[in-house]
Amino acid sequence: MLLDDIAPYVTPYYILPSLLALAALPLLRKATRSSPTFAAQTSAAMPDHTVVVLGAGFVGVAMAHHLLKHTPADVASLKVVLVAPNDALYWNVAAPRGFLPADDDKVDSAKGTPGFGDDKLFYPLAPLFAKYNASGAARFEQLVGRATRLDPDAQTVDVAIIGGTSSTTTTVAYDTLLVATGSDIVGGVPFKILSSGGTAETKAALAAYRAAIGAAKHIVVAGGGMTGVELAGELGSAYGKTKAIQLIVSEAAPLAVYGVKDGVQQQALGQLKGLGVTVVAGTRVAGTEVQGQKTVLTLEGKTSDTLATDVYIPAFGITFNTQFVPAKLLDTSATGKGRVRTRKTLQAEGYDNIFVAGDAANLQAPSLKNADDQVQVLSAQLQTYLKALAAKEPAALSEFPAGQGLVVAVSIGPGGGTGQVGSWRLFSFLLWVLKARFLGTNYAGEIAAGTRTPGNSKW
């Protein structure tokens, strides 16, 4: 299935439901801001409860901040250990524009190059979490590495440190664990953090694509979901009159994979064509071969042929970052294979002290909107859970209302886009207002700093 066939990657930052008054989850939130908070702890307080957060994406970063800011000192003397291959939050909602060459002076200009630089995409985490260790309090620790083995019975996680030797592994013990490791892109395309090398490798991969795209005369993007359509739109907007841009779509039209109305599909097709993008529908890339400076694609389907291009960008296929999780905890079904079996309380099956959210959980289709909805509930769940532990009482946790309402919001270049919420088609101007102009870079720093989430301006 395509990368966005199951709405993965960044089903980019579905603020739309809340802005359109269609998000019901805020009504179910519990008050989690108790007093006194950890900010009132003295530097002499020694942590007596360790929460290990696996993953430094939207879920992991938001929850690490929330736990440290809002867990009352009389509930637990808490330490949070954040484990992830990236030492910076990657705002990959804006990745499609980040593939394009960016201005070196970092100054936005209508006459400048069209892409986003690393300053708009990567937000170093260490400075933003330093406040929690003020006055010598050891409340936060960041391990830059990949989880390689979870032992849920021993309550430990083995971590391979990024930048070390192949044998550089440490074992981290936890009282409570949050699995928020998300998913990876097949083929190592940097729409997400490249887990083998973290932030540095991802930046290097983006730099290579920027250089190749800048020099190319012919570019092919494969994938008819959100990622492929958004990237093709950015390329068309910037280079549609000077370079040949093609989008290969296995379905009958762009965005058809989501089951959106034909009018939405045709609107996407029309906008892409208007930007100079040639859409090849009903066709898939069956194979690739590098021949000199070209990549030769073997096409199958409605168009069966070979196609030589200067730059080929596959925007389909994901794998879930759960290889470290024991098989007994993983879903084996066709729709959820490789994801952690997660109860509606956002806890792993069989283990009350393991919480799961985001792409790694099998509750909903992977998307940023769904992950953000889960975070709003999870923040309350963890406070209830920790309070019950402190009182030595059973935790009365609520169940997550996993709705599956259709929400698709796709930018097609900086000037607008298309989408659908429920049965309502979204007009291009609305996409321009809510998304396409900035792709969330106007508030991504706040998310990294823990002052908001994609759909909640107060965190």
What pTM value is reported for the model? 0.88
Q: Residue 166, by phi and psi: left (phi above 0), alpha (psi -120 to 50) or beta?
A: alpha
Q: How far apart are CA 459 and CA 284, in angstroms?
A: 43
What are the pLDDT digits (tens) for 291-333?
999 999 999 999 899 999 999 999 998 899 999 999 999 999 9
> Residue 113 has what pLDDT?
67
Residue 383's Cα: distance from chain center in Å? 24
Instruction: Estimate the crossing angle of helix 262-274 against helix 226-239, to 10 degrees.
Output: 30
Q: CB-based contacts of 185: which residues, under 8 Å, 6+ apart? A: 3, 9, 191, 192, 317, 318
> Residue 3 has what pLDDT?
37
> Residue 73 has what pLDDT?
86
CB 350 within 8 A of CB 214: no
What are the pLDDT digits (tens) for 355-407?
999 999 999 989 999 999 999 999 999 999 999 999 999 999 999 987 768 89
User: Which portions of the chain are predicted below pLDDT 70?
Assistant: 1-46, 104-113, 164-167, 404
> Residue 164 has what pLDDT?
63
Q: How far apart are CA 444 and CA 120, in angstroms?
A: 8
Report the SS3 class of residue 305: strand
Q: How far apart are CA 27 and CA 423, in angstroms?
A: 23
Q: Which CATH number fits domain 16-215+316-449: 3.30.200.20, 3.40.50.460, 3.30.70.960, 3.50.50.60?
A: 3.50.50.60
What are the pLDDT digits (tens) for 204-217?
999 999 999 999 99
What are the pLDDT digits (tens) for 267-286?
999 999 999 999 999 999 99
> Residue 41 has what pLDDT?
44
